[in-house]
């Protein structure tokens, strides 16, 4: 029986389940019971595994660490900086995952001196625990062997035990596209199926509705202060239409004010790179292509080194 046929069976058996997120979870469970691994799991889990493995192998040499979400993962080329820099950013990271990554990097890299972190305006409310990608945070915490307790039960569409079964099913595949933690496989056009304006409006909705993650940026700053680490925060570059729509939705509100206030409080530099790049530098509304990544990395070198 082919995987496509098994997936059709899973789709047929779960087609009447609502809402959509619940239906998606049950469809994955049925398909997995039939021997089909959810398509989104192997690539992400494998990348996290090999990124962390690379950090372990280079730990004694690393002096500069890059943390953040997909904007850092696809947008900062560590090998252009020097061979003592490592990209430890993971796709979909929220501020909690960034904080956990930072703590793990410091515990392993005894010569760590600088932390480069990308941040977006909506990070103040974006929480993986509550979102549809909660399994990604679970995968990161498992790989990092984090001791932080996370209450995934608040997300009724995330099944921790099911995720664990998938993680342990042998889904890690060989990955040869990493260089000092930079993930070349992530540089692929059209990564998102949502229409651009819907994606941008969703980001603003998260910013406008929630501010429950602000304390985590303070934790990152405090951790760097307490461990004598130089922290450089970069607001991720965006395409012109992204900036225009956010500006229209904000109606004069400074969406970066919460980041600016915290950086000023802890006396860490903040660089706003939102409007510094032309549209040819992007693969989608807010992710750089390889040309954009080269330019962004060179700008980071000018500011931090």
DSSP 68-80: -SHHHHHH--HHH
Q: Which helix (H) or strand (E) holds 49?
A: helix 40-58
β-bridge pairing 178-179 and 182-183: antiparallel
The angle, 0 to 180 degrees and rounded to 10, between the axes of the packed helices 134-144 and 40-58 is 30
* pLDDT computed for residue 191 by the predictor: 52
Task: List, for residues 76-131, the tens digit of each pLDDT value.
Answer: 999 999 999 999 999 999 999 999 999 999 999 999 999 999 999 999 999 999 99
pLDDT by 10s per residue, the chain, length 305: 899 999 999 999 999 999 999 999 999 999 999 999 999 999 999 999 999 999 999 999 999 999 999 999 999 999 999 999 999 999 999 999 999 999 999 999 999 999 999 999 999 999 999 999 999 999 999 999 999 999 999 999 999 999 999 999 999 988 668 999 998 887 765 454 457 889 999 999 999 999 999 999 999 999 999 999 999 999 999 999 999 999 999 999 999 999 999 999 999 999 999 999 999 999 899 999 999 999 999 999 999 99
> What is d(CA 48, CA 54) in angstroms, rounded to the nearest whole number?
10
**Dihedral sign (CA 91, 93, 98, 99):** negative
* pLDDT computed for residue 80 by the predictor: 98
Q: Which of 232, 302, 282, 288 is nearest to 81 (CA)?
A: 302
* pLDDT computed for residue 49 by the predictor: 96
Terminal-residue alpha carbon distance, the chain: 56
> What is d(CA 47, CA 238) in angstroms, rounded to the nearest whole number?
25
* pLDDT computed for residue 193 by the predictor: 46
* pLDDT computed for residue 145 by the predictor: 97
- Domain positions in the chain: 1-36, 40-304
Q: pTM for the whole thing?
A: 0.95
CATH class, domain 40-304, is alpha beta
* pLDDT computed for residue 93 by the predictor: 95
* pLDDT computed for residue 188 by the predictor: 62
> Do 121 and 259 touch, CB atoms closer than 8 A?
yes
* pLDDT computed for residue 31 by the predictor: 97
């Amino acid at each position: 029986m082919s995987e496509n046929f098994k997936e059709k069976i899973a789709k047929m058996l779960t087609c009447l389940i609502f809402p959509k997120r619940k239906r998606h979870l049950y469809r994955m469970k049925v398909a997995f019971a039939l021997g089909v691994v959810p398509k989104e799991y192997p690539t992400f889990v494998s990348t996290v595994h090999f990124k962390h493995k690379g950090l372990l192998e280079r730990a004694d040499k690393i002096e500069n660490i890059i943390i953040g979400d997909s904007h850092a993962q696809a947008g900062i080329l560590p090998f252009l900086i020097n061979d003592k820099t490592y990209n430890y950013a993971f796709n979909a990271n929220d501020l909690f995952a960034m904080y956990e990554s930072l703590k793990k990097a410091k515990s392993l890299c005894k010569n760590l001196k600088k932390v480069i972190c990308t941040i977006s305006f909506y990070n103040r409310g974006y929480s993986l625990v509550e979102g549809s990608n909660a399994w990604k945070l679970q995968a990161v915490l498992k790989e990092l062997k984090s001791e932080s307790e996370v209450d995934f039960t608040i997300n009724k569409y995330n099944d921790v035990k099911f995720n664990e079964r998938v993680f342990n099913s042998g889904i890690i595949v060989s990955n040869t596209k990493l260089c000092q933690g930079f993930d070349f496989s992530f540089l692929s056009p059209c990564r998102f199926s949502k229409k651009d304006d819907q994606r941008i409006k969703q980001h603003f909705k998260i910013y406008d509705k929630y501010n429950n993650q602000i304390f985590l940026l303070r934790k990152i700053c405090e951790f760097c202060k307490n461990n004598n680490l130089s922290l450089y925060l970069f607001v991720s570059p965006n395409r012109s239409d992204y900036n225009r729509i956010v500006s229209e939705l904000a109606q004069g509100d400074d969406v970066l004010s919460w980041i600016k206030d915290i950086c000023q409080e802890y006396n860490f530099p903040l660089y706003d790179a939102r409007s510094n790049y032309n549209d040819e530098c992007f693969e989608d509304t807010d992710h750089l292509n390889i040309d954009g990544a080269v330019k962004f990395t060179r700008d980071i070198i000018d500011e931090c080194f």
